[in-house]
A and B are shown apart, each in its own frame.
Chain A
Amino acid sequence: MEKKKKHKLVGLEKRKAIAGYCFIAPFIVGFLVFMIKPFFQSLYMSFTNVDLRAGNFSMSWCGIENYFFAIRKDASYVRLLTEELLRMVVYSFAIIVFSFFVSLILNQKFHGRALVRAVFFLPVILSSGVMLGLESNNQLVATLQQTVEEATASISVTDSLQEILRTAGVGTRAFEKVFEVIDNIYDVALASGIQIIIFLSGLQTIPRSMYEAADIEGCTAWESLWKVTFPMISSLFLVNWVYTVVDFCMRSDNQVIDKIQETMIEMQNYGAASAMTWIYFLIVITFVGITSLAISKGVYYGD
């Protein structure tokens, strides 16, 4: 195979191929040394007992003991894992819906659009990295928020709406999830900066003539949303979905990651920490794979 290909590339093509490899050489080296090697080492470590001694470390094979430890023996891992995964599903969905909605609004023409766009993008800058975890820890600011909330409680529309929906008694548990998301709309808004911009850029590439044609054919705005806008940017749903899920896994307030860090640094149990990471990673990757496959079935690629 390799030889055949080399034969094919002659003259300028060959030179270009070599130049191409030179350009991406840093990536190849970095990938092999800092990704592939640690990746498999970490996989291997999850099956071993890592023994740290002064000056060196040794690994002894112990089969699936670490996995057993993570799932059956550790007191909080499974609970944290299920909580975090459920949260991930609900919030990723909420973030996609929210950012789509906001980008639809921002795509309209009105005064101060640039300002609003800048404000929505602000969290990408401000609550990255360590800042996110601090936000939720800050009791004082939370108290302030509560004061504001209490002052307006008597006129709260959402509360009375919640009351009505609760007493209706249909799909109560689903509603509870929705309420939870609405109560935490701040988190959702914080996490959807990039997604909004991606949707917005997609919306701006849709030619105006399409809407005009739809309008002349007697399409209402609601219909053209579903028949024109939605298919045209459906590929961006896939991008945003993957980005959101992955972003959620890397957030610094992720409790599973905290648990892993704690196991690694405080308990010095590298094997178990690796096993925990791998369980988490495999579940997430499978989830991303299945859902993006499902979404890509519905994506309209045009032409």
Chain B
Amino acid sequence: MINVDIKKDTFWERNRKSGGYLFRRKATTVLLAICRFILLFGLCFLILQPVLNKISVSFMTEEDLFDPIIISIPVHFTTSNYTLAAEIMKYKEGFMNSLVISLTTSLVQIAMCTLVGYGFARFKFPLKKLWFAFVMLIILIPPQVISNSLFLSFRFFDIFGIVKMLNHGEALNLRGSIVPYYLMCMGCMGLKDGLYIYMIRQFFRNIPVDMEEAAYVDGCGMLRTFVTIMLPEAKPIITSCFLFSFVWQWTDGFYSRMFLGTTTLVSTSISRIVDSLGAYMQRILGVTVTISQAYSNCILSTGTLMVVGPVLILYLFAQRQFVESISSSGIKM
């Protein structure tokens, strides 16, 4: 009976009964929500603004860039910036190369990291702690530390002198070819592989062992158990590690520059785009021209958009996989 009475009371009446507590609580919640909205809106705007700026700049003609009245909406709408940037960057070729290389290296990387992560999560073997400490170590050691030595060892590639013997005493020059990078990926030493091993191991550890044991009892081998039972379970983490690997490979400059100096990739051509613009103009016009800073930056913005565009679309569709994986793997130290 009493319950029914309370429900009939208006907000203010209930407030009076509680001695003003209800109103105060309500007011604080609303105020907090407003503050939170302003803060988050500001921060989100902060992160998105450069992208939005680039989009608006990329549609402007050179004229618009110098017009002080025009800030974000172009008057002379044009898409010629995109055509020019595509031509300078050899976008089609670079896009295909980047796509093929990112896909294949990510595939190799994740396949290897899954194997290793599973090994660390499920088996007991001597010196396991030591090896796992090494996994942590490869997360910690910046690749720059070993880059110069790697550079030389791939410039003069040799496995215990075998190659030298076959190749008339000359070491193999593997620089500029993709082979060394595939080799490194196979050895789990590619871009951020330590992190993937760690995440995958963490995920496998959270899966109960019952199913595997049932499989063993039924006479299923270790490899077969892994492939037929554990792999389907681990699909979410593998997908997200693959996505990460793909995206980071797509924008990576370090490994690309070291191993693939000669191949056209979107990530390497974007970092050279301003210089390429100068060279291109000179070739077209036949004379040396100074390109205004505003215009070269406009081309740079356009190029950047073209590079991150595919990745951005991927993120829009697979946002959940990207974010959830990190929270679900339960990172602890």
Contacts and interface: CB of A to CB of B under 8 A. Distances in A.
Are A and B bound to each other?
yes
Interface of A: 2, 5, 9, 13, 15-24, 26-31, 33-35, 37-39, 41-42, 45, 50, 55-57, 102, 105, 108, 110, 116-126, 128-131, 133-135, 137-141, 143-145, 147-148, 185-186, 189-190, 194, 197-198, 200-201, 204-205, 235-236, 238-239, 242, 246, 249-250, 252, 257, 260, 264, 270, 273-274, 277-278, 281, 284-285, 288
Contacts of A205: 330
A288 B170 contact: no
Give the residue among B39, B47, B149, B223 with the most A Cβ atoms within 10 A.
B149
Contacts of A123: 47
A198 B187 contact: no
A27 B326 contact: no
Interface in B128-148: 128, 131, 134-135, 138-148
B319 A23 contact: no
Interface stretch (B11-19, B117-125, B282-290): B117-125
A117 B333 CA distance: 24
Contacts of A105: 36, 39-40
A57 B300 contact: no
A141 B294 CA distance: 9
B184 interface: yes
Contact of A140 (B298, B326, B331): B298
B150 to A, nearest CB: 5
B234 interface: no
A138 B171 CA distance: 42
Contacts of A145: 49-50, 53
A122 B49 CA distance: 12
Contact of A134 (B57, B138, B248, B304): B304
Given A35-B141, A252-B253, A141 B123 contact: no
B140 A277 contact: no
| Top 9 A-B residue pairs of the complex, sorted by shortest distance between their CB atoms | A30-B187, A23-B119, A20-B123, A129-B251, A201-B327, A140-B297, A130-B253, A38-B149, A38-B146
B32 to A, nearest CB: 8
A185 B145 contact: no
Chain B binding surface, main DSSP class: helix
Interface of B: 33, 36, 39-40, 43-44, 46-51, 53-54, 57, 65, 71-72, 112, 115-116, 118-120, 122-126, 128, 131, 134-135, 138-153, 155-156, 170-171, 183-184, 186-189, 197, 222-223, 226, 247-248, 250-254, 267-268, 270-271, 293-294, 297-298, 300-301, 304, 307-308, 311-312, 315, 319, 322-323, 326-328, 330-333
Nearest to B327: A201
A118 B323 contact: yes
Contact of A270 (B123, B148, B189, B226): B148
A13 to B, nearest CB: 7
19 contacts: A19-B123, A20-B122, A20-B124, A24-B116, A26-B186, A35-B141, A39-B146, A56-B156, A118-B323, A123-B47, A129-B254, A138-B301, A194-B326, A204-B327, A242-B140, A246-B139, A273-B148, A277-B145, A288-B140
B253 A42 contact: no
A218 to B, nearest CB: 15
Given A140-B301, A236-B333, A239-B332, 8 more contacts: A16-B124, A27-B116, A27-B134, A38-B149, A120-B47, A123-B47, A194-B326, A277-B148
A29 to B, nearest CB: 5
Contact of A30 (B142, B186, B267, B271): B186
